[in-house]
Amino acid sequence: MAQTSGIVPVEKLPLAARKNIRDEFDANIGNLINAVSDLLGQPYKLEVNFHLFYAYAVAADSSWVKSSPGVAAFNYFESFHTYLKDFTEEGTYTDAVEAFNELVTERRISLEADPSVTYSDCRVRDGAFELTFSSTSPGVNVSYACQEMPKRFDEGLFAKDPDALPMIAKRNIRDEFERKKEGLLARFKEELLGADVGLMADYTAIWKTLINSDVNLEYSTQNFGRVLYSYFDGLASQMKSKLNKDDMMVEGFIEAVPTLQLCVEVAPQDYSLKNSYHEIEIKDGKFIIRTTPRYFGTNSDSAAQDIVDLL
C-alpha cells in the first residue's frame, strides 16, 4: 500500500488491532487466496499494509476500521472475490480470465488509498489490481469497491488495443444475440415458408466504425448484442406484416435475395443515409440494414418497414 495525503504508517499497531488482524484476516485469507488463484488459474497474492491502513483509519477517525482492521481488510478482499466470480462466471468465461491475467502481470491484488475516490473503487495499475478506498473514508462502501471491475478491464484493454471488441460488448453479444439467434432463425424460416436464412453482423467491423466516430461508446458497448437482435427482430416482424406468408411475396423476396443472407452494417458517421436513421439495400444478393454510429439502435424495429418497395 502506497501512502498518500501525507499519511505515515504507524510504527506499532495496538494489541487489540493486532489480535483482530490475526483472528479475522490471517486466519481466513489463505482460503481466499486459494479461491482467487483457482478462478484465475494462476497463483495470486492478496496484500494490505496494515500499518498504513490503520494510519488512515486514525486520520479519518474511523472507529470501525480502528477496532477491526482485520475484518475491514478481509471484507474488501471477500467482496473482490464475489465480483471476480461474477466477472469470470466462476472461472468459465475465458475472455475475462485471460484479460485479468494479461493486465495484472504482477499477480497481485492490493488494498490502496486513493484521495480521488469518493468511498471505494478499483483499478488496474502498474501490473496490479488495486482495491481503493477514500483516504478520508476507509471502510466505507466496502462491498461496492469492485462493482466497476468489467469496465476497468475494458479500459485497460482499450488502452492496449482500441480496435479490440470490449468484453462487456462480447458478453452482451453472447447473451442478447447469439443465444437468441436460433429463435430468430426459426421465425425467418416460418415467414419465408421454409427457407433458411443467415444472420450476418461483423462485430469487429461495427466496433471499429463506432470508435472512429464521436458518439458516446458506453451505450453501444453495454447494448451491442441487444441492438443487433433488435434489428433482426424488427426485420422478422416487418416480413410477417408485409410479406404475410404470401407465396408470391415470399418468392419475390427470395428471388431478390438469392443468398438469403440478412446483414446489419454500420457505415462511417459522415455517410448520408437514405432515411433518417437507417436504410435498407439489396446488394450482391444480400439484404442489408445499414445505419451510422449516431443512430445505432434508434428505431431499429422499423428499419425494414419499406421492404416491399425494395423488391
Specify the pLDDT at position 6: 74
Indicate whether 147 pLDDT > 80: yes
Residue 1 pLDDT: 60
Boundary (domain end) residue, out of 126, 159, 192? 159
pLDDT score, position 47 = 98
pLDDT, mean of residues 23-28: 98
Q: What is the pTM of this model?
A: 0.86
pLDDT digits (tens, 9 = 90+) for 252-273: 999 999 999 999 999 999 999 9
**Which range of residues forms the domain containing residue 219?**
167-310
Question: Do 138 and 110 share a domain, yes or no?
Answer: yes
Specify whether 124 is located in the same domain as 176.
Answer: no
pLDDT for 195-218, tens place per residue? 999 999 999 999 999 999 999 899
Is residue 244 domain-shared with residue 153, that is, in the same domain? no
pLDDT tens digit sequence for 43-58: 999 999 999 999 999 9
Note whether residue 2 is domain-resident: no
H or E element in which residue 30 lies: helix 27-40
Total of domains in the chain: 2
Mean pLDDT, the chain, whole residue set: 96
| Helices within the chain (DSSP H only) | 15-20, 27-40, 50-60, 63-67, 69-88, 94-103, 149-160, 167-176, 181-191, 203-211, 217-242, 247-256, 307-310
Average pLDDT over residues 186-191: 98
